[in-house]
Structure 1
């Protein structure tokens, strides 16, 4: 799929990189002034009238030169090299550009130039040279972070791996490219994406996963219809025929591939055309139609004579023709195709060895070395992270230990303070003199006396005591009782009870060894709390440590 793609792909890069190149006036007619028109006319006469085709190639190159348009000059030199059958015209121009642009590389150059060389070589069956240029292109795309070109190059490398029978590796790369395009649709170039879907079709056919192959081929067909690309529709039909052939549905394979020939021909994709002829010939042979099989095998030979480019499909074709003429006892034709098979086989073997060697030495091994360095780097990073983590962990442990030591010192001081305080035992809560309340003095005195007796008799140890019960006992109302406690004790009724109970707990724990052996719940009930939790919380709030700590320290002190 090279003829139209050569032009479409360049247009894509012009749009992508927004090149602004100087334009100059030209002497061409209005109709001749467009590159697309000149390109179409060139292809129209390429195989029918080489003089006219060269005329349009010259005009195309002259226009690009006058306008100093590098991209179109590349296409112009390619046209000229094709029509004069002299690759050096095109390749020399690319090499000169590579030398020039390598001095100050950009995202686009010289990467695109290596891609063009790789494409040119693969069209002409020079797979090893193609791979070398794609490897260089990949290097520059990585250096200058051109993801658009990078994944196009990877797809081309995958095709070469597929050609080299590295089917699993080829599919892995193609799926990587497929996922990239799906995640970064802004980089997706319609024709390239469609070609990728067809390539994935071939990958799954090679694994005999025909359902998966059909899924990707259907996607390719739908996408080609959406973008109205008739050539890509043709390739999807070819892919469909390939699936049918693999499934041994030979009639369906023939019908589908025959429909694709028009578009493959129009694209001048000789490799795909030879492969299409081969599948048709093999299908007819399987169906027992020898005449049709011979016809399409001869088409493969004719294509070889025309292009002088060697493809794998030629081997099976010549093997068939050798056997066919042997059975007909036509020794001259039998010898002719034996010689052709030997020549093609030699070229393909040499090409395969070179390609395998280049893959190993220039792509796979450097990739493995890079992967090795990455792993070593990860291990170093991991080691550094472990060291940093160990340092951080040690620092945290030190902080925790320091905190615990400090906490113990503070708790010890609090314990000593409480233990040595003369007020640690149950005492009469100091009465704070304040402004007089609007309550009769006689009632105030009676309530204060009642509170004093309440404290002495440890009435606060009653777990069910309420403000209302206490008011009834003191023969007053809750309003007076609450106001007097708040006024003279400087706390509400609830805190008044808690303070009395905690003070009593401190006293009896200090004096009574048996009490220290109680459970926290039992001690709580002993001093008036309903639950161990409420006692522990009140104790901590008052002293700064838990009852268990206080008991533990008391036991140490008593046994010392």
Structure 2
């Protein structure tokens, strides 16, 4: 990653390309914090007056610098994003195209590095790309190419990403060995090492293991023991450990993977930390130590729960955990990890459905159109046909992929629901959701009485009454709404509406499983059968509780019954 490189570059950029005037007061303020470590909030008391001064003087180039420094030294992701927004605002007011490139790239870096929001990051990179086409600043152009390459790599377009990283390597290598300011040499060396790391990832996925191993050795040699490149060295050690795993040198793999852990943890790069844990776990698994391996696979799940992000290559993590739970006959864990896998698939599917056409239409096609204009005088017709064929092919691939993923997802959700039904003939209750409201001190006997009445209400299917409200039910049970609401919140896993919806959807789901006549009913009839007035409301609740639309469920159930000869 070249996050710190990007955030530091603006200082040198201003010095050599924009701010030839030397403002002593600005310089004095920056000297008080410019040598501090990234995320050190002790810099902020000096950055704030810097920003205030720039605002007062309407010095937008300095204001961009101030917000950029605030991004670097803030410790919270939310603050970094706020300052990045302000940076874009200041760059817009400056009307300097190069500052706009810097601001949009840096904001994209926050989305990518701190949040792993590829959709939002790509939007920023493409915005920067528009401004970079006419810039004379080659450094900014290659920064942008690097980040677009990162998104391509994530999408699995490794050949295309590798081409971009090769271009970046050539540029950064040449610049880092030229006679320029030491800080610029440092920035270009960082760019070179991070481009090399990304190229190694592409080589690994393309099966180019010889090129990968050679690049890893080059990276380790270039980074050396220089403290400035500790993070980059950690990435190369991670790549080396992965290579050793594939070569079945599991002891060596564990050594290098563990050596890389401290720097990757310190960088707060939770995506690469997950990759590290994954291959440590795989190494232990290959050495027949399943208990140790599962510890690391569960760490990946913890990261996923916290950040709601997982790399496609780590999908196998959940398959391993599901199989481990099956082997140990832990049905609760098996169900949990199956749910996590479905959630991971859903998140990755959203990224791919958005990013895949975006990267082609907003980047590749624009590049092709620029080339087409150059070649138009030579062979206009051939160029147009090529572009149309590319777009047509991409559209077909995307359509096929989307249909396949949707069909697979529906099937998985149906199987999961069926397993739950077979297990205990009912749908498991949702986890209890804490309800923040004033509690009434109810006597234990009163609570028990209301629970008994609710049990009778459930057994007699009282919940299928149309237009049932908490007031009506309270009246039927001989109590008041406040008492009933409190008992339901504390003992039934949610508020009244959630409780009622769960009962109704569980009821109709059981009927669909047990009696095939209900499979012939339309959605409106099924909704009325369980007391829900609106077709749309029924469909939404069914999906929310069961994870599958009722139409898809009925279709799968009928296919299964036909296959069984029922």
Alignment TM-score, normalising by the size of structure 1: 0.59
Alpha-carbon distance, 1:245 to partner: 2.5
Which residue among 78, 85, 101 is the counterpart of 2:71?
A: 78
The whole-number CA distance in structure 2 between the counterparts of 1:255 and 1:314 is 21
> What is the CA deviation profile of residues 149-178 of structure 1, one whole-angstrom value per residue up to 9, with x for unaligned ones?
111211211111111111111111111222
SS, match of residue 253 in structure 1? helix
Q: 2:409 is matched with which residue? A: none
User: 1:98·1:110 contact (CA, 8 Å) conserved in 2?
Assistant: yes
- Provide, for residues 275-327 of structure 1, a one-character-per-residue CA deviation record: whole Å limited to 9, x for no partner: 11111112222221111211111211222344444433553222222222222
1:115 to 90, 105, 124: 105
User: TM-score under structure 2 normalisation?
Assistant: 0.58
Could you tell me how far apart the structure 2 residues matched to 1:226 and 1:16 are?
30
Q: Secondary structure at the match of 2:23?
A: coil
1:193 Cα deviation (Å)? 0.8
Question: For the residues of structure 2 that align with 1:3 and 1:144, how far apart are their CA atoms?
Answer: 22
Answer yes or no: is 1:290 the counterpart of 2:280.
Answer: no
Deviation at 1:203, TM superposition (A): 2.1
Aligned to 1:352: 352
| Aligned equivalents of 1:377, 1:265: Cα separation in 2 | 55
SS of aligned partner of 2:25 = coil
**Higher alpha-carbon deviation: 217-226 or 166-175:** 217-226
Aligned to 1:62: 48
**What is the DSSP-based 3-state SS (H/G/I as helix, E as strand, rest coil) of the residue aligned with 2:116?**
coil
Structure 1: which 5+ residue stretches go unaligned?
44-52, 381-560
CA distance in 2, matches of 1:6, 1:232: 14
Aligned match of 2:194:
195
Contact 2:216 2:240 in 1 (8 A): yes
Distance of 1:273 and 1:370 partners within structure 2: 39
CA 1:377–1:36 in 2, change beyond 3 Å: closer, same or farther? farther
Cα contact 2:146–2:195 (8 A) shared by 1: yes
**What residue number does 1:239 align with?**
239
Relative distance call for 1:181 and 1:35 in structure 2 (3 A) is: closer
Question: How far apart, in 1, do the equivalents of 2:168 and 2:361 lie?
Answer: 23
Q: Are 1:204 and 2:195 matched, yes or no?
A: no
Match of residue 96 from structure 1: 89
Residues 67 and 191 from structure 1, CA distance in 2 versus in 1: closer, same or farther, beyond 3 angstroms? Answer: farther
The answer to which of 4-13 and 353-362 deviates more is 4-13
Alignment correspondent of 1:24: 25
Matches within 5 A, 1:440-451: none
Counterpart contact for 2:112–2:118, Cα < 8 Å: yes
Aligned residues between the structures: 362
1:313-328 alignment runs, 5 A limit: 314-328=314-328
- Counterpart contact for 1:318–1:337, Cα < 8 Å: yes
Question: What are the residue-to-residue correspondences of 1:143-542 with 2, within 5 Å?
Answer: 143-185=134-176, 186=178, 189-225=188-224, 228=227, 229-312=229-312, 314-377=314-377
CA shift, 1:136, in A, is: 2.1
Q: Report deviation, 1:195.
A: 0.8
- Taking the aligned partners of 1:36 and 1:377, their CA distance within structure 2 comes to 55
Do 2:234 and 2:264's aligned partners in 1 also have CA atoms closer than 8 Å? Answer: yes
C-alpha distance 177-92 of structure 1, shift in aligned 2 (>3 A): closer
- Helix, strand or coil: the match of 2:136? coil
Distance 1:190 1:306 in 2: 33
CA separation of 1:16 and 1:282: change in aligned 2, threshold 3 A: farther
Partner deviation per Cα, 1:468-519 (whole Å, 9 max, x = no partner): xxxxxxxxxxxxxxxxxxxxxxxxxxxxxxxxxxxxxxxxxxxxxxxxxxxx
CA contact (8 A) 1:278 1:296 kept: yes
Shift of 1:35: 3.1
Gaps (5+ residues) in structure 2? 55-61, 179-183, 381-566
Deviation at 1:181, TM superposition (A): 3.1
| Greater Rg over alpha carbons, structure | 1
Summarize the Cα distance change of 1:307–1:23 in structure 2 as closer, same or farther, 3 Å threshold.
farther
- Listed one character per residue, the Cα deviations across residues 190-246 of structure 1 (whole Å, up to 9, x for unaligned) are 111111112222222222222211221122112112754222222221121122233
Q: Partners of 2:26 and 2:363 in 1: how far apart?
A: 46
Q: CA deviation at 1:36?
A: 2.8
Q: Contact between 1:21 and 1:67, CA under 8 Å: does it hold in 2?
A: no
Q: What CA RMSD, in Å, does the superposition of the two structures yield over aligned residues?
A: 3.0
Secondary structure in 1 matching 2:244: helix
